[in-house]
Amino acid sequence: MSRYLQDILDQPDQLLQSLQHSVDKGSGALKKSAGLITGAKNVFITAIGASWSAGIAIQAAFNEAGVQAVLCDAADFLYFTRIPPDSAVLFLSRSGKSVELVQALPKCKLAKAAVISITNAADSPLAESSDACLLTSVRFDHSISVSTYSSIILTGLLLTQYFRPQSPGLLIYDELMESLREVNGRLKEWQDIIETTSWPEKNGHTYFTARGASLASAHESMLLWEEVAKQPAAALTTGAFRHGPQEIIDNPLNMAVWLENNIARDHDVKLINDLVGKKVNVLSIGQELPGRLKGHTVYVPSCPWLFSPVINIIPLQLAAEKLARMKGIDPDVFLYCNFIVESEGGL
Ligand SMILES: N[C@@H]1[C@@H](O)[C@H](O)[C@@H](COP(=O)(O)O)O[C@@H]1O
């Protein structure tokens, strides 16, 4: 078994551990971070790679809670963004060492911005320069971000609970624990589904589409296709897919579509059924999916509002492992990328 697959199988327990940390030792830092953000006029969220994908879900939860936050790719934040007075910058990084983030820290200091970080590395330059540091508290994955990715979303979403009218009660923690325990029980079922369906097809192009916070899962899946299976892929919103990108559907095509529970579900069911009618190989991921849905389906357990990307990425983590195996590729090895990119320039 690859170390990557082992990291996926260990993920529910790692997420439970991360949640426990936030409830317990990490609760003070959560409150402090929420205070720094509420006291700021401008909020930036910045990250790169998988952590940037996690930022999509966190930004969606900020916006949903009525706190405007700008999500910036860390390289663009470094080179193209002026930080106005009274800003707070939320950095997301499993290692706390990615070069663009580390280089952006002096810029934050100069602008007197509050620096808040979500990271798995307490001894990193990022954590050490932060006014408040939220530790994700998971075991480091072997190479590809697995729990170090999903635990950033989990921690970021717990932070956004403080911006809601009622600060997080024990109820949300209980519900999350329950969902994560259910995921543990479903892993084997998901492995079987992924293994036995004809999704993905090795020679097809692959597009990932989703809405809202789950767009994080679409972008993260694209990165998994690239990092794990060394295969090009695309990610976009399901809404945007219908504004031109659908012109490509006559090519051999795999699509994964995440469906929301109550938002635009009927529209998306219609889209998926039309795509299957045009011979697109579609995998749908969602809670309580309707029986009229054509193509392949993976059911995910219910969980508190907006937390679903913590969980609904897992079937695609498994699918990326399957694709790597089909292509005879070792998912544990980067060919060109470093585990942590600590310098600029070149490949
Ligand atoms: N290959 C890795 C990516 O997988 C990772 O997502 C990115 C950001 O890492 P970090 O979250 O530590 O800043 O760095 C590298 O590029």
Asked if pLDDT for residue 222 goes beyond 80, the answer is: yes
Q: What are the distances in angstroms from CA 86 to CA 31, 70, 168? A: 19, 14, 26
Angle at alpha carbon of residue 151, lines to 148 and 156, rounded to 5°: 125
Q: Is the pLDDT of residue 170 over 80?
A: no
Specify the residue with its C-alpha closest to ligand 1, atom 8.
49
Residues 199 and 148 in one domain: no
- pLDDT of amino acid 340: 86
Domain check: are 201 and 227 in the same one?
yes
Q: Which atom of ligand 1 is nearest to the CA of 144?
A: 4
Same domain for 30 and 162, yes or no, is yes
Pocket-forming residues, ligand 1, beta carbon under 6 Å: 48-51, 93-95, 98, 145, 227, 337, 340-341
Tell me, yes or no, whether 252 and 130 share the same domain.
Answer: no
The per-residue pLDDT for 268 is: 97
Distance between Cα 244 and ligand 1 center (Å): 31
Q: Which of 119, 140, 168 is the last residue of a domain?
A: 168
What local confidence, expressed as pLDDT, does residue 25 receive? 96
* Residue 301 belongs to domain with CATH number: 3.40.50.10490
Given this model, what pLDDT does residue 302 score?
Answer: 92
Nearest atom within ligand 1 for CA of residue 334: 1
What's the pLDDT at 165?
73
Co-location of 162 and 191 in the same domain: no
Residue 173, in any domain of the structure: no
Q: Is residue 55 part of a domain?
A: yes
Same-domain check for residues 22 and 157? yes
Q: How confident is the model at residue 36 (pLDDT cuts 50, 70, 90)?
A: very high
Q: What is the pLDDT of residue 329?
A: 96
Q: Could you tell me where the beta strands, DSSP code E, fall in the chain? A: 42-47, 70-73, 87-93, 114-119, 132-135, 205-210, 234-237, 253-258, 281-286, 296-299
Residues 139 and 246 in one domain: no
Q: Which atom in ligand 1 lies closest to the alpha carbon of residue 337?
A: 1
User: Mean pLDDT throughout 112-136?
Assistant: 98
Ligand 1 centroid, distance to 50 Cα (angstroms): 6
Percent of the chain with pLDDT over 70: 98
Please report whether residue 343 resides in a domain: no
| Closest protein CA for atom 5 of ligand 1 | 49
Residue 161 in domain: yes
If asked whether residues 153 and 275 sit together in one domain, one would say: no
**What is the 217 CA–ligand 1 centroid distance (Å)?**
16
Ligand 1 test: best mutation among 51, 152, 337, most atoms within 8 Å of CB? 51
Burial class (CB in 10 A: 0-12, 13-18, 19+), 174: exposed
Domain that holds residue 85: 3-168
Distance 98 CA to ligand 1 centre (A): 7
Output the CA angle 46-63-105, nearest 5 degrees.
20
| Dist CA 247 CA 255 (whole Å) | 14
Nearest residue (by CA) to ligand 1, atom 13, is: 93
Q: How many angstroms does the Cα of residue 49 sit away from the middle of ligand 1?
A: 5
132 inside domain = yes
Mean pLDDT of the chain: 95
- Rg of the chain's alpha carbons, rounded to an integer? 19
Q: Is 149 inside a domain boundary?
A: yes
pLDDT grade for 260, boundaries at 50, 70 and 90 = very high
Which of 46, 145, 149, 333 most suits a substitution to test ligand 1, by most atoms within 8 Å of the C-beta?
145
The percent of residues above 90 in pLDDT, for the chain, comes to 90
In this structure, the answer to whether residues 153 and 269 fall within a common structural domain is no
Mutate which of 91, 98, 219 for ligand 1? The one with the most ligand atoms within 8 Å of its CB, which is: 98
Question: Both 197 and 162 in a single domain?
Answer: no
Residue 109 has pLDDT above 80, yes or no: yes
Q: Judge if 68 and 127 occupy the same domain.
A: yes
Residues 114 and 232 in one domain: no
pLDDT surpasses 90 at 293 = yes
Q: Would you say residue 347 lies in a domain?
A: no
Counting the structural domains of the chain, the total is 2
